[in-house]
Structure 1
Amino acid sequence: MRKPRLFKALLLAFLALTLTGCSITHVVRVEDREKIDLRTMIAELSGTPLVFAGERHDAASHHRLQLDILQAIRAEGKPLAIGMEMFENSSQPALDAWSAGKAPEFAIRKVFEANWRNISWGLYRDILLFARDNNIPIVALNAPRSMVRKVSQTGFSSLTSEELRLLPAGLDGKVSDAYLDFIKSSYYMHGRKGDAFRYMCEAQMLRNRVMARRIGDYFLLHPETVMVVIAGGGHARKMGGIPVELEKIPYKIVLPPVPTLTSERVTTNDADYLMEEPFSWLAEIF
């Protein structure tokens, strides 16, 4: 019984490595389920102040698409900012120095690797170089890792008053039954149940709410800006992600497919566009 499972796992890993770098040339427009090319999608994104460009963190093709979107918006001559899940707020001064051309590459790489462990710098390098070369602000979106870890282990209520002061004012860790049901139906829970499951959901919600607040705060100061948010597909997804936590900022969402979110299953409660990529058919086999 174990050999077929092992074979599938090895085959999946091999195919993922083989196909991850393939370019994405088309997306599914979710509203009418029409397959369109990237040029059409990018044209349709024009005029949208906030674009969520979701990713699988290790997929080079997703980062290439993110860069394509950034370059197209930049070409329109609009003020542009990049919001990144990959950096905690404490990294903002380093990011500001980088975007201003005042920091060497080795310095920002060190900041990146301190924030975003186990993911290759090379996957994000072109995006960060594009930001520096065009003096585009990068906004550090994520909550402190230590706090997220603590909430995932012992719950939001375990945060001290000192820790809460490091978060945006008025933030809470409440998760609704609807959100819990959504997470159960949408993601693999790795065996988490009871309080452990709730704490995991509270940690994810903490990240979503902190990132939403950072985005909202930036738009209050820079209302004419177009922001492209680079974040994992789970955070970029409308239902259960950052977008549902935002108010009064129009947005569009581009997501990669995952086993629980295919072109057949996706709805406008998830995204506006779903990437068409060679990797997506693996969900139907495994």
Structure 2
Amino acid sequence: MIRKTLLCIFISLLSFAAIAQNKIYQIYTSDGEIVDESKMHESINQAEVTFFGELHNNSVAHWLQLQILKNLKENQKDIVLGGEFFERDDQLNIDEWLEGKITDKNFEAEAKLWNNYIPDYKPLMLFAKQNQIPFVATNIPRKYASVVSREGLERLESFSKEAKKSIAPLPIEVDMTLPGYEGMKGMMHGSGMNADFMVEAQAIKDATMAYSLFEFINKKKSIFHVNGSYHSNNYEGIVWYLRKEYPKIKILTIATVEQDDTTSLLDASKGIADFIIVLPTDSPKSY
């Protein structure tokens, strides 16, 4: 009996080792310490707003988002899902679909869907629908961001009150000295485009995504927001605008990066978020 028990334990340990070795991703703290999902989930459940900075085409990152949303549902009463992947003027379509008033077919025909919506974002939306989790579309309509990239922020002042409902209240402050914005300007050197306008276009996206969450922060909701990593890395972007309005709010950030070797975090990625998920460079992609 003892031999049989020891054999079962040995087999279990081998199985655990195999799973650990085959794990496709690794989670690190800001300073590069390896942690497991339970530590990250515990921290998320203590935050008021969590930003998941994704690599848009990484399928593993999207699966992890769904696991976080499921964990939040189990542990929080009032949660809200938000996302960059829908623009604010699609909110009515989203609400009608979540309430079962329109079909998937009608919704997906009328909403401005990203190319990878079906494989990467629809699972999140379906879980939200099945569990009565509100969803807030946070992104500025791309047509307005495009105007800013060509003509600057001031051009938005000429748009109608109806148009401005989909934009953060104007004027917005743009701190061109933020490292992320400075880096963006540097990358555009010699491109022939107006670098300041491009930064302003990025800033109006960040400001609008932050503004879209104010209502739910005031309602004391626990918010899980999905966005590109560059919108929340280094606590800039959306986080900067949110903290301007709510300086004491408990924010947690997650960043995703790809590395050939996931067994340690590269120095360049340390400090960019509270948790950094390292994915292998050759992990599955949706496009």
Report TM bin, short chain.
Answer: 0.7 to 0.9
- Show the counterpart of 2:126: 129
Q: Secondary structure at the residue paired with 2:120? A: helix
- Show the counterpart of 2:153: 156
- Show the counterpart of 1:240: 236
Alignment of 1:148-187 (within 5 A): 148-163=145-160, 165-168=164-167, 170-179=169-178, 181-185=179-183
Rounded Cα–Cα distance in structure 2 between residues aligned with 1:33 and 1:280: 22
Identity within the alignment, %: 26
| Deviations, residues 209-247 of structure 1 (Å, cap 9, x unaligned) | 011111112222x21x11100111111224431011112
- Asked whether the equivalents of residues 140 and 167 of structure 2 are also in contact (C-alpha less than 8 Å), the reply is no
Structure 1 length-normalised TM: 0.78
- Show the counterpart of 1:19: none
Letter in 1 for 2:148: V
Gaps of 5+ in 1: 1-21, 282-286
Query: How many residues are paired up?
Result: 251
- Asked whether the equivalents of residues 48 and 222 of structure 2 are also in contact (C-alpha less than 8 Å), the reply is yes
- Decide which of 197, 200, 204 is 1:199's aligned counterpart: 197
What is the Cα deviation at residue 103 of structure 1?
A: 2.7
* Higher Cα radius of gyration: 2
Structure 1 range deviating more: 159-168 or 231-240? 159-168
Q: Secondary structure at the residue paired with 2:100? A: coil
* Residues 1:167 and 1:206: Cα distance change in structure 2 (over 3 Å): same
- Asked whether the equivalents of residues 28 and 273 of structure 1 are also in contact (C-alpha less than 8 Å), the reply is yes
- Show the counterpart of 1:7: none
- Decide which of 218, 221, 227 is 2:223's aligned counterpart: 227
Rounded Cα–Cα distance in structure 2 between residues aligned with 1:159 and 1:212: 18
Q: Secondary structure at the residue paired with 2:257? A: coil
Alignment of 1:13-52 (within 5 A): 25-30=25-30, 32-52=31-51
- Asked whether the equivalents of residues 139 and 205 of structure 2 are also in contact (C-alpha less than 8 Å), the reply is yes
- Asked whether the equivalents of residues 173 and 206 of structure 1 are also in contact (C-alpha less than 8 Å), the reply is yes
- Show the counterpart of 2:5: none
Q: Secondary structure at the residue paired with 1:69? A: helix
| Deviations, residues 66-123 of structure 1 (Å, cap 9, x unaligned) | 10100001011421111111111111111112222333222332344x243x334221
- Show the counterpart of 2:215: 217
Letter in 1 for 2:131: N
| Deviations, residues 153-210 of structure 1 (Å, cap 9, x unaligned) | 111122243257345564325433412x543436873555686111110000000001
- Asked whether the equivalents of residues 182 and 240 of structure 1 are also in contact (C-alpha less than 8 Å), the reply is yes
- Show the counterpart of 1:147: 144
* Residues 1:47 and 1:154: Cα distance change in structure 2 (over 3 Å): same
- Show the counterpart of 2:55: 56
What is the Cα deviation at residue 24 of structure 1?
A: 5.0
Gaps of 5+ in 2: 1-21, 260-264
- Asked whether the equivalents of residues 101 and 135 of structure 1 are also in contact (C-alpha less than 8 Å), the reply is no
* Residues 1:36 and 1:190: Cα distance change in structure 2 (over 3 Å): same
* Residues 1:126 and 1:201: Cα distance change in structure 2 (over 3 Å): same
What is the Cα deviation at residue 38 of structure 1?
A: 1.6
